[in-house]
Amino acid sequence: MREILPQVEELMLRLKQLMPSIYQQETLESILGLFLSGKGNAAPHHCQTKSESAISRFLNYYTWSTRSVIRTVRSYVLNLILSQRIKGRKRTLQVMLDLTTLEKVGKFPHLKDLIRVYNHKKGLHIVVMYLVIGNWRFPWSFRVYRGKGTASPSQLAQKLLNNLPSILIKSFQIYVLGDTAFGTIKLINKIRNSFQFHAVVGIPKTRKIQDGRKVSEIKTRGQQIYLNGLDIPVFLSWVWLKRDEKRIQRFVISTKPMKGQTIARWGKKRWQIEGFFKTVKHCFSLHRFGQKTLLGVYRWLILSFVSYLLSYWVYLHLGNYDNLDWFDSAQQALFLLLPHILLLSLLNQLEIVRPWLNDTGFDFSLIRCKI
């Protein structure tokens, strides 16, 4: 595979070229630089290189193509995933599905009731599809859950699976992983019969099988069962999770015959997406949107995901696979991909403290060094 950093630099250049003007190119760089601060507080007023109003106009009103940005980044992700193909037996591509809440307080009339309470959390609720192959991981797409009377999380998941590229389906063995929200009869049937994938999803302990028993009454891991309403057999296991210093049993089913311990191991893998959610929120400010339009919020989410990917690819370039420090990776991405944004930010901060330095008898100046 080609060196990864030149490819990321090429991607950055292509993203800039999608912007209609030099001014918008500079604003894009400034916003990415804001996300790549890695502190999780990327509010526009914290930006050192563009004004808050400039960022607002860029996100909410300017006519650059959001779809083109998505297609460009996805094309790059796809090429990286396909580079992991090997001859012979197909590698496993894990497709993780989960719903997360971008918590908010206050009123958001411009978001047309998308900020709502669901599962006792108020905010914007999105279903995310996250791809994992080996040690590599990539957010691929998302859909917004719009509340009761609209498409459910499992129905949104089906739409996300519909858009999985056919080249991935042909090249890899697909395992779909999800929690109990994605263990519905319709979705399991769709995954197994229509998509021809394997599903490893959670189910509640009260779920009944066709002989009338609850799954919690099954005592043998890996046992074949028939859930009520589902014609195909599934194989049951469970995992033990630690929550508030208590051990909680969670049940998992697989549409592929596997040993009980193997099903449990696959069931635990889906928790990787929870780590992704924590990272993209607390390091890359996914939940910090405050835009005045739906378009502005959508663009904010997209650019947050892009910043996550840029940091991750720089981490892969640096090759320190034993220690993934997201703050450090974000800082390295800022230094390697947007050094002028980093420099301008530092200079602006120095200008802020110049009066204090002068009062204490100090000053500074920049001198060009001869090389």
The domain limits of the chain are: 1-61+325-353
Per-residue pLDDT band for 334 (boundaries 50, 70, 90) equals: very high
Query: Of 288, 245, 364, 254, nearest to 105 (Cα)?
Result: 288
Q: Based on DSSP, count helices (H) and strands (E) in the chain, helices before strands.
A: 12, 9
3-state DSSP helix/strand/coil % of the chain, to nearest 5: 45, 20, 35
- The DSSP symbol for 370 reads P
Sign of the Cα torsion 325, 328, 333, 334 reads positive
pTM, two decimals, is 0.90
Q: How far is CA 194 from each of CA 26, 46, 98, 247, rounded to the nearest angstrom?
A: 45, 48, 21, 36
- Residue 16: per-residue pLDDT: 96
Please, which residues have CB within 8 angstroms of residue 165's CB and are 6 or more apart in sequence? 78
Q: What is the pLDDT of residue 125?
A: 95
Q: Say yes or no to pLDDT of 353 above 80.
A: no
CA torsion sign, 58 to 61 to 64 to 70?
A: positive
Binned at pLDDT 50, 70 and 90, residue 368 comes out as: low
User: Hey, what amino acid is at 164?
Assistant: L
Q: Which residues pair with 1 in a beta bridge?
A: none
Residue 196 confidence (pLDDT) above 60: yes
Look at strands 198-203 and 173-178 and give their pairing: parallel
96 within 8 A of 273, measured Cβ to Cβ = yes
CA-based nearest residue to 31, from 59, 63, 64: 59
Q: How confident is the model at residue 231 (pLDDT cuts 50, 70, 90)?
A: very high
Q: How many angstroms separate the CA atoms of 278 and 281, rounded?
A: 5
Specify the DSSP class assigned to residue 368.
P
Provide, rounded to the nearest whole percent, the portion of the chain with pLDDT above 90. 70
